[in-house]
Amino acid sequence: MLKFALRRLAGSVPLLLVISVLVFMLAKQMPGDGLGGGLNPGNKDPRYITEMREKLGYGDPLVIQYIRWLKDAATGHFGQSFLYKMPVGELIGQRLPATLLLTALSLLITYGSSLALGMIAGRNPGSRLDRLIRTAAYVTYAIPTFIAAIFAIYIFAVVLRWVPLGGTVSVVTSGGLSALGDRLVHALLPAAVLGLFNTAAYTLFLRTEIVENSGKNYVRTAVAKGISRSSVYNRHILRNSLIPLVTFLGMDIGALVGGSVVIENLFAYPGIGTLFTAAVSGRDYAVMMAVTLMTGFMIVAGNVVADVLYGWLDPRIRAGYNGGRS
């Protein structure tokens, strides 16, 4: 299985190359280069701009610029952020922990609550509880994330003041374990909102799967064999119903790095998402490239994880790992 995973990851290299070419060319096609426009004539000495454009090599043919970037990237140098004037690696290192905490927490909330809610609803289809969960899920599903975010901020951070408003840490921290707790509290609301949409969707998926599976022959067999109802649900039905969710998990792992652009901006939560929007509007090519590639790589990696999980859930899929190739 390890071999399989490694092979899949290695296979992602050409894909990442294609992504990098596309992103590079598209980014360069955007009008402006971060040096034009602007407001302040004092900062806009034409000679400075010409000098900078020359220094940054913006005048060279795109292919040459790309190859220069690729050469550096191959040796692990993703360049200097034009906007922040620091190495991209360092910049991302500064922002990544906050984003990872946010998205991981959001994954936890999403999968935890959708598993619980989906199972409850799926076990008692048609019941009042089921209808309540379904209605709630549909309503949540219909609310755009950014609207939910603004409402959540207003209710929980402004009116009730249960959670802090914006940022990733409090101004006064004592360090140690409480510092981690402080970061968690800051990430809680954005993570919940970020997971809201998916929670609703997954709850509904899982519920449908469970309802559908519980009518299948193997369930009737198991019940006839005298296995207890809860054991049938938890072992047989749940395991089979999880397969579609695993596909989503693969993508969600990919989204760990780049999936919170909107939320981070709304919550003034400085992570990779806010960095990316700033990079796009400021034409910070080095940062744009690094973030998109990182996201691309994470999506590939997430899919590998999903494939491995499929095999664990369903041995028939596992058999396919070796078939055909070896």
Question: By CB under 8 A, which span of 37-45, 205-213, 222-230, 303-311 interacts with another protein?
Answer: 37-45
Is position 42 an interface residue for another protein (rule: CB under 8 A)?
yes
CA dihedral angle for residue 296, residue 301, residue 303, residue 307, rounded to 10 degrees: 160
Q: How many residues does the chain have?
A: 326
Contact 284, 275 (CB under 8 A): no
Site for another protein in 299-318 (CB under 8 A): none
Least distance from C-beta 74 to another protein, angstroms?
A: 23
Question: By CB under 8 A, which span of 62-70, 82-90, 225-233, 252-260 interacts with another protein?
Answer: 82-90
Task: Decide whether 154 or 162 has the Cβ nearer to another protein.
Answer: 154
Least distance from C-beta 22 to another protein, angstroms?
A: 20
Question: By CB under 8 A, which span of 26-34, 65-73, 109-117, 218-226 interacts with another protein?
Answer: 26-34
> Pick from 54, 90, 66: which is nearest to 285 by CA?
66
What helix, strand, coil percent values describe the chain, rounded to 5?
Answer: 75, 0, 25
Which listed residue (12, 94, 124, 140) binds another protein by CB under 8 A?
A: 94
Give the separation between CA 318 and CA 119, rounded to whole angstroms. 26
Q: Which residue has the tokens 């709304």?
A: 266
SS3 sequence of 40-94: CHHHCCHHHHHHHHHHHCCCCCHHHHHHHHHHHHHCCCCCECCCCCCEHHHHHHH
Burial class (CB in 10 A: 0-12, 13-18, 19+), 284: buried
Is position 44 an interface residue for another protein (rule: CB under 8 A)?
yes
Least distance from C-beta 169 to another protein, angstroms?
A: 6
Which listed residue (18, 63, 86, 139) binds another protein by CB under 8 A?
A: 86
Task: Decide whether 38 or 320 has the Cβ nearer to another protein.
Answer: 38
Is position 184 an interface residue for another protein (rule: CB under 8 A)?
no
Beta bridge pairs of residue 235: none
Is position 30 an interface residue for another protein (rule: CB under 8 A)?
yes
Is position 41 an interface residue for another protein (rule: CB under 8 A)?
yes
Which listed residue (46, 76, 126, 215) binds another protein by CB under 8 A?
A: 46
Q: Which two tokens stand for residue 188?
A: 């809680």
Mark residues 270-299: x for contact with another protein by CB under 8 A, - for none: x---x---x--x-x----------------
Task: Decide whether 54 or 60 has the Cβ nearer to another protein.
Answer: 54
Contact 16, 296 (CB under 8 A): yes
Indicate the SS3 state at residue 242: coil
Task: Decide whether 46 or 76 has the Cβ nearer to another protein.
Answer: 46
Query: What single letter denotes the amino acid at residue 122?
Result: G
Is position 160 an interface residue for another protein (rule: CB under 8 A)?
no
Question: What are the residues binding another protein (CB under 8 A)?
Answer: 30-32, 36-48, 52, 55, 83-87, 90, 94-95, 150, 153-154, 158, 165-169, 171, 265-268, 270, 274, 278, 281, 283
